[in-house]
Amino acid sequence: MDPIDDFNGQLVRWRHHLHRFPETGFNEHRTSDYVSEALRMLGLDVQRGIGGTGIVATLRAGRGPGVIGVRADMDALAITEVDTARPHASRHAGCMHACGHDGHMAMVLGAARLLATTPDFDGTVRFIFQPAEEHGRGAAAMLRDGLLERFPIDEIYGAHNIPGMPAGHIATRAGGIMASEDNFVIRVHGRGGHAARPQMAADPLVSAAEIILALQTVVARNVDPSDPAVLSCTEIHTDGIRNAIPSNVEIRGDTRSYAPAVQALLERRIREICNGIAAAHGVRCEVDYTHEFVPTVNTAACADAAVRAAQAVVGVDKVDANVRPMMISEDFGAFLNVMPGAFVFIGNGAADRPGGVPLHNSAYDFNDAILATGAHYFAELVRQRLPSATR
């Protein structure tokens, strides 16, 4: 068999197996077993159980002191896959890899195979498989579990597939590339009653409706237009029925931003608006506001390194070195808070082409055509950051 065909076939086999058996955050036990065995078969030193189900596999070549980390996320989403005709469709009901972490793992496994087969670098590589990215908890769990003390790393690199970007194109930027995410829960407490006698009730649903509409003015009228920010109400629940005014209404949502001052402004205005509207209607209001994801901010020198490696793999014309920041969030930002590194986007396919279905969609599937691109990108990045005298 042609070595290239064998390599590409192995990437697809890894990815399809991982897609068939998705697991949600901190439950990636079968996933961890499979990935660990694949790494051991490549001859790497594999350590498990870091931050729960996390894995760190180490590969050394030469005597160089440099250490590069390459990270993949492992968890899936609690979404039911609609395309059950796929040969690799999820076999776990109500769970699927709708964000492409199956592909990310396969790409990093591919980079490990490339570097283990041809160790033309001088130093150490840590292949990090992180649990629970979707909930923004896995990176912190690995760090609390002594990731950097047990496995020192000089720089760390990651990637995410992006539907809507042409397949195989790579994009990054120095500085902020993905936003923070904060979550809020607003609870409005009134006095329920019969729908035919509203004068006997203190209707929390009317207050909740006003709150939702008023919150849409925060970004438009309180945030400096030059500062990126998003505020979204995404859920509303009541304890009422069709012919009864509820006593309690709960609103859930999130905010996205880059600057700490904007985060603080969004939280303050949410609380002020909720309390003010509640007081005007004679109901009570509580606001829980939590910080889930920090912004993902690329180190300038590492972003430059990522661009050079990407250009070497896909060509200058397929690399965007100054992509516009996105308001999505990524747990990788927690790593960049404590060490240098860079994150890139790899195009999964334009909107009307294979790979163009949006992330977190029940019909999404990772585009197998970009698996080799990601694997070669990570391997090239290691070779450039840990150059061997013989290369």
Report pLDDT digits (tens) over 319-361: 999 999 999 999 999 999 999 999 999 999 998 889 999 999 9
Q: How many CB atoms lie under 10 A from the CB of residue 93?
A: 8
- Asked whether residue 118 is domain-assigned, the answer is yes
Q: Is 235 assigned to a binding site?
A: no
- Asked whether residue 391 is domain-assigned, the answer is no
Q: In angstroms, rounded to a whole number, what is the distance separating the alpha carbons of residues 243 and 186?
A: 24
- What is the pLDDT, as a whole number, of residue 3? 77
Q: How many CB atoms lie under 10 A from the CB of residue 209?
A: 16
Is residue 73 domain-shared with residue 172, that is, in the same domain?
A: yes
Where is the domain boundary, 241, 273, 293? Answer: 293
Is residue 203 domain-shared with residue 321, that is, in the same domain?
A: no
Q: In angstroms, rounded to a whole number, what is the distance separating the alpha carbons of residues 279 and 272?
A: 11
Between strands 67-73 and 244-245, the pairing is unpaired
Is residue 163 domain-shared with residue 301, that is, in the same domain?
A: yes
> Residue written as tokens 């609690």?
78
Say which CATH number the domain at 82 has: 3.40.630.10
- Asked whether residue 390 is domain-assigned, the answer is no
Q: In angstroms, rounded to a whole number, what is the distance separating the alpha carbons of residues 275 and 305?
A: 49
- Asked whether residue 52 is domain-assigned, the answer is yes
Is residue 193 domain-shared with residue 128, that is, in the same domain?
A: no
Is residue 288 domain-shared with residue 340, that is, in the same domain?
A: no
Is residue 16 domain-shared with residue 114, that is, in the same domain?
A: yes
- Asked whether residue 22 is domain-assigned, the answer is yes
Say which CATH number the domain at 263 has: 3.30.70.360
Angle (deg, nearest 10), helices 3-20 and 371-385:
110
Where is the domain boundary, 278, 293, 308? Answer: 293
Is residue 103 domain-shared with residue 141, that is, in the same domain?
A: yes
Between strands 155-163 and 341-349, the pairing is parallel
Task: State which residues of the chain have pLDDT below 50.
Answer: none
Is residue 274 domain-shared with residue 315, that is, in the same domain?
A: no
Q: Is 134 assigned to a binding site?
A: yes
- Asked whether residue 13 is domain-assigned, the answer is yes
Is residue 302 domain-shared with residue 342, that is, in the same domain?
A: yes
- What is the pLDDT, as a whole number, of residue 391? 60
Side-chain half-sphere of 297: how many Cα atoms within 13 Å? Answer: 12
Is residue 49 domain-shared with residue 159, that is, in the same domain?
A: yes
Where is the domain boundary, 252, 277, 293? Answer: 293
> Residue written as tokens 């033309």?
120
Structure tokens at 297: 């901010």
| pTM, two decimal places | 0.94
Q: Is 348 helix (H, G, I), strand (E, B) or coil?
A: strand
- What is the pLDDT, as a whole number, of residue 233? 98
> Residue written as tokens 């400096």?
224
Q: Which domain holds residue 265?
A: 180-293
Q: Is 194 assigned to a binding site?
A: no
Q: Which residues make beta-bridge pairs with 129?
A: 55, 72
Element (H, E) at 176: strand 175-178
Domain count, the chain: 2
Is residue 46 domain-shared with residue 145, that is, in the same domain?
A: yes
Is residue 360 domain-shared with residue 225, that is, in the same domain?
A: no
